[in-house]
Amino acid sequence: MISPDTKQESWRLNKFVALCLGVSRRKADELIDKGKITIDGQPARLGQQISDANKISYNGKLLELQSKQLIILHKPTGYLCSRASQGGVPTIYKLLPKNLHHLKPVGRLDKDSSGLILMTNDGDFAHSMTHPSFYKIKRYLVTIDQPLQPLHRQMINDFGVQLPDGRSQLTLERQHEGDDCRWIVEMSEGRNRQIRRTFDALGYTVKKLHRTNFGNYSLGDLKRGEWREEKFTNS
């Protein structure tokens, strides 16, 4: 019951569970360890191998392998990167056909931010793109409410700004020569609202935040609210 397209004679259980549920292999191991996964009706064990003849279930529901999928979505402002709407605010799933609703966002953009969102059912890929140890560069176009002072630019670039959850260091470059309000910001971290909080700590308000790149993936000419299928790369 693994998949009619599968050519492998055997699979490692955690890899199969991760692919079916769109989670990382580490998370799959947690589900196995907690007894959420069964093989032919019996509790699964960590490290088990499975074959096409086995029936694997999660909380009693039979799992079947799906093809790996990846899309890029151009998120407009005013949408949440979640499945559940809050206070009537729409989610990014309103922008997608129902046959893509099983995909999960790789990282987040807050409601007031726009730009590139990767969405996939491959948990290992999502982990490799978001865990700090993999050092994936993200690029943003950021507009602040007043010109950035040279000392503050040096602090952000060279020393970092101390936030409650740790030091935040960003790479800044002007979008246009002589314009100190609009910046290209690059970072490899992905802490909650980190760019906004970094500027706020120095007395600035971010008026616009738009992500254009994530690793090797680029928004390109994709229009707001639109999406496209993408190939997996070693980004």
User: What's the predicted TM-score (pTM) here?
Assistant: 0.78
CA dihedral 32, 33, 39, 42 (to 10 degrees): -150
Would you please indicate which residues are annotated as catalytic (active-site) residues?
110
Q: What domains, with CATH codes, occur in the chain?
A: 11-62 (3.10.290.10), 70-131+222-229 (3.30.70.580), 137-214 (3.30.70.1560)
**3-class SS at 61?**
strand
- Mean pLDDT for the chain? 91
Distances (CA, A) of 62 to 20, 45, 157, 190: 10, 17, 50, 34
Q: What is the pLDDT, as a whole number, of residue 204?
A: 98
Burial 143-177 (b: 16+ CB within 10 A, else e): ebeeebeeebbebbeeeebeeeeeebbbeeeeeee
The predicted-structure confidence for 166-223, as pLDDT tens digits, reads as follows 999 999 999 999 999 999 999 998 788 999 999 999 999 999 999 999 999 999 999 9
Contacts of 130 (CB under 8 A, 6+ apart): 106, 107, 136, 190
Order of strands, edge to edge, in the sheet holding 42-43?
Answer: 42-43, 37-39, 56-58, 61-62
Q: What is the DSSP letter of 235?
A: -
Residue type, 114: S
The predicted-structure confidence for 147-162, as pLDDT tens digits, reads as follows 999 999 999 999 999 9
- φ, ψ dihedrals at 71, nearest 5°: -130, 160
Q: What is the pLDDT, as a whole number, of residue 131?
A: 86
DSSP-derived secondary structure for 2-36: --TT---S-EEHHHHHHHHHT--HHHHHHHHHTT-
Name the residue among 144, 217, 138 with its Cα closest to residue 174. 144
The pLDDT confidence band at residue 4, using thresholds 50, 70 and 90, is very low
